[in-house]
Amino acid sequence: MDIPIHSIRYFCTLAEELHFGKAAAALSISAPSLSQQVSKLESTMGVKLFERNSRRVVLTAKGAEFLPVARRARDGHDEVLQWARAQQGAGDGVLRIGMVAAGAGPLTTSILAAAVQQLPSMRLEMRRLGFFDTSRELVEGRVDVVFAPAPFAVDDRILAEPLWREPRVLVVPEGHRLAGRTSISILDTAGETFVSASGGVPEILDWWLVDPRPDGSHPLRGPVADDFEGLLELVAAGVGVNIASIGASQQYRREGIVFVRITDIDPATILMCALKRPQNPAVPGFMQLGIELARKAALGRVDEQGYRVPHDF
């Protein structure tokens, strides 16, 4: 009997989410593909792991019995991969850093500059990540640290340290009816079409789009993109508008795009993420450096709502 590790990973994710759509989004595969893989696993093992219909998914008694065994196999395989990848990079002192959207904005630059001075033997490698890649890229060992906005899909193997909170902005094309405003209410966006990230967990997308709105209404949803650059292209083309953290106004400045402060929605929390048990020995020191610099930055200017402002806006 051959049970591939990806089948075990799929089983664990579905068992934890108990929802094919959410589990598929976390795994970056389609729901039909996930269903086929789970059915194949059940056939190989000769046991039924889930009871499923159009309304719900639940573990069978055998599925609940198998789950802790599967988790140990998944986590053990992850540790093997992380150790092997760490050996590949151990000789040249590489720290691989992932950035989701604007990352930690200007604080990212400060942390990297300090790391270069304080960790002179460490070579830094930067990588842009998709909106929902944080957990997978860390667990599979392709990056060591990720700067990303919350919320993101929870994984108990990952440590997520908050660096700061920053207001959110409406991203609109030049000439848009709201482009000349210094700030707006979320209710001012009624009737607008919103472009958003593709393939994400629905609850996270709802948070970014503020769905539902304070008055009970729902935003109109339009085209989607895999990364922030793609979203900006859609906005610049006049296809729709987007909501981002204020850091994007510095990291992604470009002609044809305007960022307008939204005053009455929850701010974005910027996180620095890494595995709780990192294989790269440089990770703890880098994380501590980032936390210390964020604390110092928090002593600087704050806006009228009490949020730390990383740059003039």
How much is the pTM?
0.64
* 3.40.225.10, 2.40.30.10, 3.40.50.1110, 3.40.190.10: CATH of 168-262: 3.40.190.10
> In the numeric block, which tokens belong to residue 176?
């848009």
Q: What is the pLDDT along the chain (313 residues), one digit of tens a residue?
A: 788 888 898 999 999 888 888 888 777 777 888 888 899 899 999 999 999 877 789 999 999 999 999 998 988 887 777 666 555 544 457 889 998 876 656 677 778 888 878 777 778 888 888 778 888 888 888 899 999 888 877 678 899 998 888 889 999 999 999 999 999 999 999 999 999 888 777 888 899 999 999 999 999 999 988 778 888 899 999 999 999 988 777 777 778 899 999 999 999 888 999 999 888 888 888 888 888 888 877 655 444 444 444 433 3
* Domain parsing of the chain, residue ranges: 5-87, 93-165+268-298, 168-262
CATH number for the domain whose boundaries are 5-87: 1.10.10.10
* 3.40.50.1100, 3.40.190.10, 3.40.50.2300, 3.40.50.10070: CATH of 93-165+268-298: 3.40.190.10
Same CATH fold assignment for domains 5-87 and 93-165+268-298: no
